[in-house]
Structure 1
Amino acid sequence: MTTASPPSPLRLLAISGSIRRASHCTAVLRSLQPLLPPEATLELFPLDEIPLYNADLDGDQPPAAVVQLKEAIKSADGLIVCSPEYNYGIPGVLKNAIDWASRPGFASPLKGKPALIMTASPGTAGGVRAQAQIRDALAATLARPLVRQHIAIAGVATRIQEGQLVDKPTLDIIQAGLLELIEESRWIATRSAET
């Protein structure tokens, strides 16, 4: 009788669309590790040191923070983005990071990378308009935004206590999305190993 080998380690990279110290989105991302299987690890990458995109700096020696961002994306098996919505749209800090990470075009570290996209807002819509823009921006980089119901956390301020997301129904929905991301990441890894 053979025993199944344990699942291979899985590395997920979390990116918050807010750099505010008390960000609700960052609190959501910090709450995810307990929802993951033991072989999955989660790293939160802060965007506060990423400079504004400038093609003049996008050459052989890009800014150190940009190099770190691209390396973190490249070494991750999947991405988790949680973002607020600013004026019905994607926050500038997140769009800027996507712009940097999308280089070089058609061969960036985002290419083929599965991504779970969530938005969170104190309002009633949960950031769905920004979510559509984030999906479009990531799809344009050839990343693989998951095709699933939107995870839009409305009234997020009431669902967080002491810097952690505590609302069980919301955590259950997010966990379903995380499991889908893990499944997609493993499928891509298996497919890559076969080619």
Structure 2
Amino acid sequence: MTRVLALVGSLRDGSVSRQLAETAAAVAAEGVEVTLFEGLAEVPFYNEDIDGEGTPATAAALREAATTADAVLLVTPEYNGTVSAVLKNALDWLSRPYGSGALKGKAVAVVSQSPSRNAAKWALEDVVKVAGIAGAEVVEGGTLSVGETFGKFAGAHAKEHAETAQQIAGVVEALAAATKVLADA
């Protein structure tokens, strides 16, 4: 079983980012389990003064979830031309301790979404950069930008849009395959 942890960069329950993560869980192939991390809203902003023996329980739970997962799927909206603060904060916690954080050597895929035609490509680029600096291995075929979401989904759940569901399935498949390659390396 390949265990994928999904981190969603939007806190809204019905957000398109959350729907895309839920789609990943729904379309994952047999032998791949995608679990959404609940609780990013409770993770405090990264502060080295509270990291260590007194690490907040929510941040420790995030690190434990990422450490025990085989791979990580990051799903982000684009806020003001970049990654959302909640996802950036999660990546900051996962990047520590420096050089040996929970993402070090871990297979990661990134999906971005936006109602614009730009499809949150700037946020995707920033998440790829931050994840790479944190030590993650962003996998080939493991990025996807979904644009024009308002018209594309027209009020329906993202998993009901066949093309998007198929694209998400491809990202999850690439992530699972890369996980096996990294494990064998």
Output the TM-score relative to the length of structure 1: 0.88
Whether 1:184 and 2:178 are equivalent positions in the alignment is yes
Tell me how many residue pairs correspond in the alignment. 183
- Aligned 8 A contact 2:143 2:171 in 1: no
State how far apart, in whole Å, the 2-side matches of 1:33 and 1:97 are. 20
**Per-residue deviation, 1:55:** 1.0
2:66 to 73, 78, 84: 73
The structure with the largest helix share of the pair is 2
Task: Pick closer, same or farther for the CA change 1:90–1:10 going to 2, 3 Å.
Answer: same
Distance of aligned partners of 1:158 and 1:67 in 2 relative to their CA distance in 1, 3 Å threshold: same
Give me the identity figure in percent.
27
CA pair 33-150 structure 1, distance change in 2 beyond 3 A: closer
2:81 counterpart (72, 77, 88): 88
Aligned to 1:152: 145
Which residues of structure 2 form unaligned runs of 5+? Answer: none
5+ residue gaps, structure 1, are 1-8
What's 1:5 paired with?
A: none
Name the Cα RMSD after superposition.
1.5
Distance in 1, matches of 2:168 and 2:25, equals 11
Query: Who is 1:22 aligned against?
Result: 14
TM score, norm. by length of structure 2: 0.93
Q: Offset of 1:189 from its aligned partner?
A: 1.8
- Cα offsets for 1:27-82 (capped at 9, x unmatched): 11111223212211111013111111111101112000000000000011111111
1:18-167 matches, within 5 Å, as 18-46=10-38, 47-148=40-141, 150-160=143-153, 161-167=155-161
